[in-house]
């Protein structure tokens, strides 16, 4: 019944050929079949955002997509954000400078969402940054440092804390 | 929380999809997946077949005519939010869309999916109800048009036969004398609304209300219109006490307590939001306001 | 010790890996020939297991085993050890790793399915049919001591797990002579921790068959090893426990769970690595929560708002078992009387069983409950007497010349709680200054004109940290100039690697290039107890 389907997609710029069972979630395909364990699974119902990846340039919950649906798509995961030489992207560097991560579990998803935002809109308002971050749940940091990091990359600098 | 097994189909045309749907028993349509896949992962649903309609190009479009903005059911919420056509000709929808889920779910979620899922607190069905949208449904026997008021058959159940597919939504264009407002109250950004209100007022040259639409979501099994209050507003001046009186109508609504909130709280919220929405709609109508 | 790195703003050595998605959490481990597991959990709060049908589950292709307690041997059928035995525990009940005949909370593990992957394991789990005889249920801890209350455990005479008391001075006399008193009912609901990474356990049998390596998303690798060895009656040297990258802990991951017994038993029986990863629904059901506490308390004060005594009766919801002993409710008592000079205290806390998932420390671990009661009471007294909330605290703080100050309480190690130093009034003054307390009324009025309601709150607390009895670090300087620091202080995001590196750098006068990551200092989890209650960093 649930015959495997052949899929062809690009992941972090590399072509991937695979056969997957229809029900295999994209998140599990990335993590287990491609060994890209940077994308994390936190809730499996689309609420926490830890599994967020880019699909054809847009942030999407990989726990709410099946790998078969990614056939013909371009997927970018957190592993695709740093440079080839391992150098952190400006946003990753800003996260480090602003202490925007603690346990690191929600971090890849947030990086994807903010990378996507800053790519489309290099100088977003803080309200827009907050809106994007609101699609993620973090239990460690309190989010402010993530917003500061995004603002720093956007060139606005970090607002003074009152 | 992994889903039960299913067979996967990916038709490339609407007719292929309707044939599949008619032939396969126990099939669910997969559009954006933002509501369906959680239910599959939690095994609340276990269909034998999933028919992925997301690659059917004829189902994703935005087309403007004199009367309406015609939107294909597979059009992604993110595309609608970014659309100048929506902003200009259906500002109520534009205002509501920022409340739909999160940016990350709007990438994939669709207008048709939301209308078929029919959560009583959902924004898109509420807008469609306030605007008296018409839905086009396609099945093995051809096409039919369904007014939004007849769309809900019950709690989270649209008036859709097992072999039918929602293909398009026709949103009446905003009129020059019209003002709108969408207001919802939720505890956090992106949460389901506790109560949501979509209001549309048309104000005549004398400054009197020509027509009103007040739609409420989150109060009961389906969203509904406050029809009596709407009729009561015709001919009234917005700054009279009539808007406050129309809002009071919410108090009569039968809403029971649930696990989260009391009926009394929802009624209170509903009354406050209806009044605010009507006042804002009136303001926008007078200001020639089609701005969001 | 000269400090150059300690207290300085440094970049964390942990970050580059985590930012690049190169962290290794339990679910990221590459386990060769590994299998994945799913638990079948009780769907009722209390009942007897009459029959379990597993044949359909076993027959599913890709299923390697379906285990009940009886299939995994005596270690699966005897109660798990108590992490913190205590003489006050009247009924020191712990669960068996898999339920044998009785289930006492929704989520309690009854069976284990091991399969090629989690998808198939869940398919099989759905096919396991359990026939229960429902038993009466008690879920409201406030009713658990009623004469007609259902026993949370079959055959139990009552639901009392312990009675804890905290007393000093003569409360009765204090109340009798007080100018003013009031009573309050204070309830604090249950709460889950919901670290973004749920729990998880992976076990690999050692190639020579003598032991295991166990990875757990735990805060307490040492405790897991000690208790598992005790439960299996093994020498600890046969068990290696590793806490890899852990995605948040917050308390509930410092508990010894049934899954940490069942997965090793399954792996040993199958001779292959087995991994279980908790999903979010399981976290809601089967990971410990904190509280519920309900108090009826009274406070006695003089006319000037100086508190004289607090007395009250409380109930604490232990849930169905007490794997963590009474550590949590005890921790909610010894913080009394906080920063205030109280003449008398008389509190009694009933710790009771209910048919709910067990409770254990979460973030603050009981201290916030005591703090909430005290601060609520002092605010209520302020309201009743028309006093400003900051002023009443000022009047009640232990005066700065009274230190060291014995609060009257006894700590968990039987020592007398003594505050060595403090100037609480100075803290309050500074806080008020920074918050602009003095002209708050003006800001509130201005905001009200714009339709905004503003409020301001004041709360104060004294927090115990650095609890003993010990923690260990061993530091070695290697011939190649690198420094190895070995500690048991597992991290779930706190950045201990960086902290230890900072301390070592200062202590040894070395200059680790912290920006480059692990260059000068390496951390390996090993010796001593476990991360519990923020005791890692005590700087003298």
* Closest CA of chain C from A11, distance in Å: 15
Residues of B in contact with A69 (CB under 8 A): 30, 33, 52, 54
The class that CATH gives domain B59-172 is: alpha beta
Please name the residues in contact with C449: beta carbons below 8 A apart, sequence gap of 6 or more. none
* Closest CA of chain C from A50, distance in Å: 8
Alpha-carbon span C255 to C324, nearest angstrom: 7
Q: In chain B, what are the domain boundaries?
A: 7-52, 59-172, 178-285
C-alpha distances (whole Å) from C507 to each of B175, C468, C483 are 75, 22, 12
User: What pLDDT, on the 0 to 100 scale, is given for residue B140?
Assistant: 84
Where residue C233 falls (left for φ over 0; alpha for ψ -120 to 50; beta otherwise) is left
Alpha-carbon span C59 to C517, nearest angstrom: 50
CB contact under 8 A, C119 and B2: yes
Residues of B in contact with C279 (CB under 8 A): 1
The class that CATH gives domain B7-52 is: alpha beta
* Closest CA of chain A from B228, distance in Å: 37
Q: What is the DSSP letter of A33?
A: I
Residues of C in contact with B1 (CB under 8 A): 122, 279-281
> Is A67 within 8 Å of A29 (Cβ atoms)?
yes
Please name the residues in contact with B263: beta carbons below 8 A apart, sequence gap of 6 or more. B254, B255, B256, B257
Please name the residues in contact with C240: beta carbons below 8 A apart, sequence gap of 6 or more. C211, C212, C213, C214, C225
User: What pLDDT, on the 0 to 100 scale, is given for residue A1?
Assistant: 58
- Give the best residue of B41, B102, B187, B188 to mutate against chain A (max A CB count within 10 A): B102
User: What pLDDT, on the 0 to 100 scale, is given for residue C414?
Assistant: 80
Q: Nearest to residue B197, comparing CAs of B213, B208, B209, B179?
A: B213
Q: Is the peptide bond before B36 cis (omega within 30 degrees of 0)?
A: no
Alpha-carbon span C497 to C178, nearest angstrom: 53
Torsion of CA C81, C82, C88, C91, to 10 degrees: -60
Chains in touch with A (≥3 Cβ pairs < 8 A): B, C
Alpha-carbon span B43 to B91, nearest angstrom: 37
Chains in touch with B (≥3 Cβ pairs < 8 A): A, C
CB contact under 8 A, C280 and B4: no
> Token pair of A146, please?
């993530």
| From-to residues of CATH 1.10.150.120 in chain A | 90-153
pLDDT band at C413 (very low <50, low <70, confident <90, very high): confident
pLDDT band at B153 (very low <50, low <70, confident <90, very high): very high
Alpha-carbon span C497 to C518, nearest angstrom: 9
The class that CATH gives domain A90-153 is: mainly alpha
A40/B contact by beta carbon, under 8 A: no
User: What pLDDT, on the 0 to 100 scale, is given for residue C534?
Assistant: 37
pLDDT tens-digit readout, C275-333: 999 999 999 999 999 999 999 999 999 999 999 999 999 999 999 999 989 999 999 99
User: What pLDDT, on the 0 to 100 scale, is given for residue C330?
Assistant: 92
CB contact under 8 A, B33 and A21: no
Q: How many CA atoms lie within 13 A of A155 on its CB side?
A: 5
Alpha-carbon span A34 to C220, nearest angstrom: 31
* Closest CA of chain B from C170, distance in Å: 44
CB contact under 8 A, A25 and B52: no
CB contact under 8 A, A46 and B5: no
The class that CATH gives domain B178-285 is: alpha beta
DSSP string, C183-208: EEEEEE--B----SS--EEEEEE-TT
Residue recorded with tokens 């600098």: A157
A49/B contact by beta carbon, under 8 A: yes
Q: Is B63 helix (H, G, I), strand (E, B) or coil?
A: strand
pLDDT band at C17 (very low <50, low <70, confident <90, very high): very high
Alpha-carbon span B159 to A72, nearest angstrom: 34
Q: Percent helix, strand, coil in chain C (nearest 5)?
A: 30, 25, 45
CB contact under 8 A, C123 and B42: no
Alpha-carbon span B205 to C195, nearest angstrom: 59
* Closest CA of chain B from C279, distance in Å: 6
Residues of A in contact with C24 (CB under 8 A): 37
Q: Domain A5-80 in CATH: superfamily?
A: Beta-grasp domain (3.10.20.30)
Antiparallel, parallel or unpaired: β C109-115 and C63-67 = antiparallel
pLDDT tens-digit readout, C342-369: 999 999 999 999 999 999 999 988 999 9
pLDDT tens-digit readout, A24-72: 999 999 999 999 999 999 999 999 999 999 999 999 999 999 999 999 9
Q: Nearest to residue B64, comparing CAs of B90, B38, B45?
A: B90
Q: Which residue has the higher pLDDT, B117 or C365?
A: B117
C-alpha distances (whole Å) from B99 to each of B85, B123, C9 are 19, 7, 39
> Is C181 within 8 Å of C384 (Cβ atoms)?
no
Average pLDDT value for chain B:
95
Helix or strand holding residue A60 (H, E): strand A58-61
Chains in touch with C (≥3 Cβ pairs < 8 A): A, B
Alpha-carbon span C384 to C394, nearest angstrom: 17
- Give the best residue of A45, A139, A145 to mutate against chain C (max C CB count within 10 A): A139
pLDDT tens-digit readout, A88-139: 999 999 999 999 999 999 999 999 999 999 999 999 999 999 999 999 999 9
User: What pLDDT, on the 0 to 100 scale, is given for residue C513?
Assistant: 55
DSSP string, B155-183: TTEES--TT-EEEEEEEEPPPTTEEEEEE
Largest CA distance in chain B: 63
Question: With 50 as the cut, is the pLDDT of residue C155 above it?
Answer: yes
Alpha-carbon span A113 to A119, nearest angstrom: 10
- H helix runs in A24-156, sequence order: 26-28, 90-97, 107-120, 126-133, 144-153
> Is C405 within 8 Å of C419 (Cβ atoms)?
yes
| From-to residues of CATH 3.10.20.30 in chain A | 5-80
Average pLDDT value for chain C:
91
Its ipTM equals 0.96
pLDDT tens-digit readout, B35-48: 999 999 999 999 99
Alpha-carbon span A123 to A150, nearest angstrom: 9
């Amino acid at each position: 019944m649930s015959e495997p389907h052949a899929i062809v997609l690009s992941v972090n710029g590399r072509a991937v050929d695979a056969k997957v069972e229809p029900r295999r979630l994209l998140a599990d395909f990335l993590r287990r079949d491609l060994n890209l364990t940077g994308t994390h699974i936190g809730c499996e119902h689309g609420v926490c955002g830890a599994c967020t990846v880019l699909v054809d340039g847009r942030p999407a919950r990989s726990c709410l997509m099946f790998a078969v649906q990614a056939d013909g798509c371009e997927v970018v995961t957190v592993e695709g954000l740093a440079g080839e030489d391992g150098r952190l992207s400006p946003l990753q560097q800003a996260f480090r400078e602003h202490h925007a991560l603690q346990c690191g579990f929600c971090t890849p998803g947030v990086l994807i969402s903010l990378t996507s935002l800053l790519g489309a809109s290099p100088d977003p308002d803080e309200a827009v940054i907050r809106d994007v971050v609101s699609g993620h749940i973090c239990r460690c940091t309190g989010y402010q440092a993530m917003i500061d990091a995004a603002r720093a990359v956007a060139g606005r600098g970090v607002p003074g804390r009152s | 929380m992994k889903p039960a097994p299913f067979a996967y189909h990916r038709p490339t045309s609407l007719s292929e999809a309707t044939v599949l749907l008619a032939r396969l028993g126990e099939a669910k349509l997969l559009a954006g997946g933002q509501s369906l896949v959680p239910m599959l992962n939690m095994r609340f649903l276990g269909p034998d077949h999933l028919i992925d309609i997301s690659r059917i190009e004829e189902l994703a479009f935005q087309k403007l005519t004199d009367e309406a903005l015609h939107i294909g059911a597979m059009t992604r919420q993110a595309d609608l939010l970014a659309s100048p056509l929506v902003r200009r000709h259906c500002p109520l929808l534009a205002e509501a869309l920022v409340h739909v889920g999160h940016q990350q779910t709007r990438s994939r979620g669709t207008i048709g999916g939301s209308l078929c899922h029919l959560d009583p607190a959902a924004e898109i069905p509420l807008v469609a109800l306030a605007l008296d949208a018409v839905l086009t449904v396609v099945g093995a026997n051809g096409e039919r048009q369904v007014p939004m008021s007849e769309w809900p058959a019950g709690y989270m159940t649209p008036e859709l036969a097992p072999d039918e597919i929602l293909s398009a939504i026709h949103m009446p264009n905003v009129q020059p004398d019209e003002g709108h407002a969408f207001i919802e109250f939720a505890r956090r950004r992106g949460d389901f609304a506790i109560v949501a209100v979509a209001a549309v007022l048309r104000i005549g040259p004398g400054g009197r209300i020509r027509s009103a639409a007040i739609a409420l979501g989150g109060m009961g099994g389906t969203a509904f219109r406050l029809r009596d209050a709407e009729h009561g507003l015709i001919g009234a001046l917005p700054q009279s006490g009539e808007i406050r009186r129309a809002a009071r109508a919410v108090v009569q609504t039968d809403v029971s307590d649930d696990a989260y909130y009391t009926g009394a709280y929802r009624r209170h919220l509903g009354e406050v939001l209806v009044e605010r929405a009507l006042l804002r709609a009136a303001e926008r109508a007078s200001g020639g306001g089609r701005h969001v | 010790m000269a400090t150059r790195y300690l207290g300085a703003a440094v970049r964390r050595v942990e970050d580059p890996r985590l930012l690049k998605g190169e962290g290794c959490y339990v679910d990221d481990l590459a386990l060769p020939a590994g299998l994945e597991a799913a638990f079948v959990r009780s769907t009722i709060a209390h009942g007897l297991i009459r029959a379990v049908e597993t044949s359909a589950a076993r027959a599913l292709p890709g299923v390697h085993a379906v285990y009940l307690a009886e299939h995994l041997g005596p270690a699966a059928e005897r109660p798990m050890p108590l992490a913190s035995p205590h003489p006050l525990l009247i009924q020191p009940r712990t669960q068996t790793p898999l339920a044998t005949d009785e289930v006492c909370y929704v989520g309690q593990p009854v069976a284990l399915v091991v399969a090629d992957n989690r998808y198939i394991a869940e398919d099989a789990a759905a096919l396991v049919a359990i026939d229960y005889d429902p038993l009466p249920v008690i879920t409201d801890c406030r009713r658990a001591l009623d004469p007609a209350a259902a026993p949370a455990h079959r055959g139990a005479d009552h639901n009392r797990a312990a009675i804890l008391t905290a007393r000093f001075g003569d409360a009765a006399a204090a109340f009798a002579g007080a100018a003013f008193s009031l009573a309050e009912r204070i309830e604090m609901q249950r709460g889950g921790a919901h670290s973004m990474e749920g729990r998880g356990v992976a076990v690999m049998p050692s190639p020579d068959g003598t032991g295991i390596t166990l990875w757990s998303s735990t805060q307490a690798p040492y405790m897991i090893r000690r208790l598992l060895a005790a439960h299996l009656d093994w020498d600890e040297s046969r068990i290696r426990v590793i806490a890899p990258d852990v995605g948040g802990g917050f308390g509930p991951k410092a508990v010894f769970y049934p899954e940490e017994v069942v997965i090793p038993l399954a792996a040993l029986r199958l001779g292959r690595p087995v991994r279980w990863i908790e999903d979010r629904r399981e976290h809601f059901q089967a990971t410990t929560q904190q509280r519920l506490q309900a108090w009826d308390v009274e406070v006695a004060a003089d006319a000037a708002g100086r508190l004289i005594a607090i007395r009250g009766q409380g109930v604490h919801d232990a849930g169905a078992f007490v794997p963590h002993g009474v550590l949590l409710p005890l921790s909610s008592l010894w913080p009394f009387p906080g920063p205030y000079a109280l003449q008398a205290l008389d509190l009694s806390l009933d710790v009771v069983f209910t048919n709910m998932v067990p409770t254990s420390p979460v973030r603050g671990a009981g201290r916030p409950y005591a703090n909430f009661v005290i601060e609520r009471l002092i605010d209520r007294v302020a309201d009743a007497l028309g006093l400003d909330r900051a002023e009443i605290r000022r009047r009640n703080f232990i005066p700065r010349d009274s230190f060291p100050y014995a609060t009257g309480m006894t700590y968990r190690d039987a020592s007398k709680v003594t505050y060595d130093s403090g100037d609480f009034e100075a803290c309050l003054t500074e806080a008020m200054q920074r918050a602009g307390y003095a002209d708050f009324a003006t800001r509130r009025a201005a905001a009200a004109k714009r339709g905004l309601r503003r409020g301001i709150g004041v709360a104060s607390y004294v927090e115990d940290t650095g609890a003993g009895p010990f923690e260990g670090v061993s530091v070695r300087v290697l011939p190649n100039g690198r420094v190895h620091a070995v500690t048991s202080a597992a991290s779930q995001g706190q950045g201990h690697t960086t902290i230890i590196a900072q301390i070592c750098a200062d202590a040894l006068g070395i200059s680790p290039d912290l920006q480059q990551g692990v260059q000068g200092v390496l951390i390996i989890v090993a010796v001593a107890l476990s991360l519990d209650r923020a005791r890692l960093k005590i700087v003298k």
